[in-house]
Structures are given as structure tokens and as C-alpha cells.
Amino acid sequence: GAGVSQSPSNKVTEKGKDVELRCDPISGHTALYWYRQSLGQGLEFLIYFQGNSAPDKSGLPSDRFSAERTGGSVSTLTIQRTQQEDSAVYLCASSAGLAPYEQYFGPGTRLTVT
């Protein structure tokens, strides 16, 4: 069906507020990834969900960041008490269980913290 979708496409928030970013993976994809893309920094891995396994949270930069995946499908990335350094494009990707490295990326959410 459709590709990976993310919402909102843009989010402007004030420093200290909480934000939630949503990702809808491709139907049937068991793996879901969150990355952060800052200007000139490339893609930074944040968290990885694979089926029913415990997520790999090794890339989350601080305990202000968390993510969940409900029903093995939709995922929400939450950033609490946002800081200006959180401003970036947050990308979500999904992949099929048998081809985890062939990741399909969404368009991203551009987060601006003022």
C-alpha cells in the first residue's frame, strides 16, 4: 500500500513543552526505526523496534526522549521538556522482517524549538 507516513510534517514548539511525533509504517513491516537528522550531521539512530522484541533504545540522547509502538504498527516518539538542540528533522523508517536493511523512509517531521 502507501509508503511510510509521518505527522505532523512541521512542528514549532516552545522550549520546555512536550511534543509527540507519529509514524505510520508500511503495512506488514515488522521493523520500525527512528532517526534524527540535524543540519550537517547526517542521520543519527534513535530507536529500533522489531516485532515483539524489546526495542533497541541505545541511540536515545537523553531520558527526555521515549518511543512506543502500539499493536506492532504505529509508533509515537515523545520528547519531553524540549530544548533548542532538539530542533531537527525526525525521520521514521520501516522494513520487512526478512530484509531489515532495506529501510523505507517517511518524509520526516521538522521540529523547531523556539
Partner 1 sequence: AQSVTQPDIHITVSEGASLELRCNYSYGATPYLFWYVQSPGQGLQLLLKYFSGDTLVQGIKGFEAEFKRSQSSFNLRKPSVHWSDAAEYFCAVGGPTDSWGKLQFGAGTQVVVTP
77 is a contact residue toward partner 1 (CB under 8 A): no
90 is a contact residue toward partner 1 (CB under 8 A): no
Q: How many CB atoms lie within 10 A of CB 61?
A: 12
Which of 67, 93, 111, 113 touches partner 1 by CB under 8 A? 93
Residues numbered 2 to 61 that lie near partner 1 (CB under 8 A) are 3-4, 31, 33, 35, 40-45, 48, 50, 56
Which of 21, 75, 88, 103 touches partner 1 by CB under 8 A? 103
Q: Measure the CA–CA gap between 52 and 32, rounded to whole angstroms.
A: 11
List contacts with partner 1 (CB under 8 A). Answer: 3-4, 31, 33, 35, 40-45, 48, 50, 56, 91, 93, 95, 100-108
